[in-house]
Amino acid sequence: MSGEDLGADFFVRLRADLLIIGDSVLTDRHHASNGNYDPRDPQNQIGGLIPSFSLSGWLRHGMERVVQEHGATACHPGESNANFKKDGVYTRDLDAGYHEKGTCLDNDKECVILDLFGGFDDRPGKVMRRPVKFSPVRSGVDYTRGQAEGHYRRLNRNIVSRNEEDGRQPLRNLEVDAVANLDGCWQLVFRETKPEFIGLLAEAVEYLDTYQTDFMHQLGGARNFGGGIIDCALINPLYETHEFRCVFDRSKRATTAMQAKDKEWAEECLPKFRTALRERIEADR
Ligand SMILES: [Zn+2]
């Protein structure tokens, strides 16, 4: 099986109890508000979009780790000629398993990370990362379009006074957008489905799932408070649409056909894509 047989669309299942992406969650609350909307009301039926920037950085970091575990260096996400505020840190990154972005480029060939993410010399990356649309109403979630069930809340954090006589009076109030009980999937579209891309995606998702409680591999803010611990898995690309939907239906179990496809994926397909990844990383050196 070549990568092209599987088409361009791949889905990563994402589950998180709490996700805080700064203030960049886009909500559709304006539809329902009519000026008297209370973002803390649990009855709100608002949904929104989780932009893909943070998700993309999270995935990329996982992929960089995989490349490094294969004994190679990964492309640094920052331009080498950028005026980094922390120049010493950039240099230290280069010592710790990275090469300068773009130095891998040679006769129109680049390392697998640059190939996927692009961004050097205006090169487009070959993986398009879509935002995740979420909704609290499960019946309205179309998983086949990379959507998720998720509950938007606006959280308040108070920084309180430490003076005894103030009685923990708030000094400052901070509001953050949060998505709770997220369960759905993230759609990735390859502009060109190379077998090594699939191998890298599968290995990175596995890595991120294994290290989901590591501070470095949690996603977004509030990580000290358990935010951004992501249960993730690549959804079997061999599934047909009805099988794909079955993954998210708590009333259904995997059918015999699905179990057979899981076996086929794990034992026949994935090893080939992993081999393609190993060969690509070797060729990139
Ligand atoms: Zn590179």
Per-residue pLDDT tens over the stretch 3-45: 778 889 999 999 999 999 876 778 776 555 556 666 666 666 7
pTM: 0.90
Mean of pLDDT values over 35-64? 82
Kindly tell me if the per-residue pLDDT of 83 is higher than 80. no
Q: Lowest-confidence range among 21-25, 89-93, 163-167, 215-219?
A: 21-25
Kindly tell me if the per-residue pLDDT of 236 is higher than 80. yes
Please give the distance, rounded to the nearest whole angstrom, from the Cα atom of residue 107 to the centre of ligand 1.
Answer: 13
Please give the distance, rounded to the nearest whole angstrom, from the Cα atom of residue 274 to the centre of ligand 1.
Answer: 19
Element at 263 (helix H, strand E): helix 256-264
Kindly tell me if the per-residue pLDDT of 180 is higher than 90. yes
Please give the distance, rounded to the nearest whole angstrom, from the Cα atom of residue 176 to the centre of ligand 1.
Answer: 35
How many other CB atoms are there within 10 angstroms of residue 269's CB atom? 22
Mean of pLDDT values over 49-54? 91
Per-residue pLDDT tens over the stretch 117-157: 998 777 889 999 999 999 999 888 999 999 999 998 888 88
Amino acid 67 reads V
Mean of pLDDT values over 243-247? 93
Per-residue pLDDT tens over the stretch 187-223: 999 999 999 999 999 999 999 999 999 999 999 888 8
Please give the distance, rounded to the nearest whole angstrom, from the Cα atom of residue 79 to the centre of ligand 1.
Answer: 11
Please give the distance, rounded to the nearest whole angstrom, from the Cα atom of residue 116 to the centre of ligand 1.
Answer: 10
What is the predicted pLDDT for the residue at 185? 95
Rounded CA separation 140/48 (Å): 12
Mean of pLDDT values over 106-111? 83
Give the mean pLDDT of the chain: 89
Q: Lowest-confidence range among 136-140, 183-187, 228-232?
A: 136-140
What is the predicted pLDDT for the residue at 132? 96
What is the predicted pLDDT for the residue at 82? 67
Element at 57 (helix H, strand E): helix 52-69
Pick from 47, 10, 14: nearest CA to 187:
10
- The 8-class DSSP code of residue 270 comes to H
Please give the distance, rounded to the nearest whole angstrom, from the Cα atom of residue 281 to the centre of ligand 1.
Answer: 11
Please give the distance, rounded to the nearest whole angstrom, from the Cα atom of residue 104 to the centre of ligand 1.
Answer: 4
- Would you say 105 and 122 are in contact if contact means Cβ atoms under 8 Å apart? no
Extract the tokens encoding 40.
């803390």
- Would you say 129 and 59 are in contact if contact means Cβ atoms under 8 Å apart? yes
Rounded CA separation 104/111 (Å): 6
Q: Lowest-confidence range among 76-80, 96-100, 144-148, 167-171?
A: 76-80
Mean of pLDDT values over 39-60? 84
Please give the distance, rounded to the nearest whole angstrom, from the Cα atom of residue 102 to the centre of ligand 1.
Answer: 5
Please give the distance, rounded to the nearest whole angstrom, from the Cα atom of residue 271 to the centre of ligand 1.
Answer: 24
What is the predicted pLDDT for the residue at 23? 63
- Would you say 233 and 12 are in contact if contact means Cβ atoms under 8 Å apart? yes
